[in-house]
Amino acid sequence: MDTREEALKLSEDLIKKLLDFGTEMDEFYRRFRELRLLEDDLSFQSALLKVEHSFFMLVQSMNILREQLNLLRIASKKGGIY
């Protein structure tokens, strides 16, 4: 069974969702960063910084997923990734 066409459609839908999700996450990140910069309590500031770091890791994971989706598109056209 050839699933290339379905996989490409699914990946296109996911890329659109990733863009929307990324925009939303960027706004949340900005708000947490702003709170950290305004915070006086160093221990809570540290907790907020860890949340910011988690956003960074989330973005890295999204970038990896996006790259793998691009490789999927290439593989569907060439028949494999070399």
pLDDT at site 39: 97
Q: What is the pTM of this model?
A: 0.79
Higher pLDDT, 78 or 68: 68
CB 39 within 8 A of CB 48: yes
Helix 42-78, helix 4-38: angle, nearest 10: 160
Q: Would you place residue 2 in the very low, low, confident or very high pLDDT band (cuts 50, 70, 90)?
A: confident
Q: Which pair of structure tokens corresponds to residue 31? A: 């708000």
pLDDT in tens, 11-66: 999 999 999 999 999 999 999 999 999 999 999 999 999 999 999 999 999 999 99
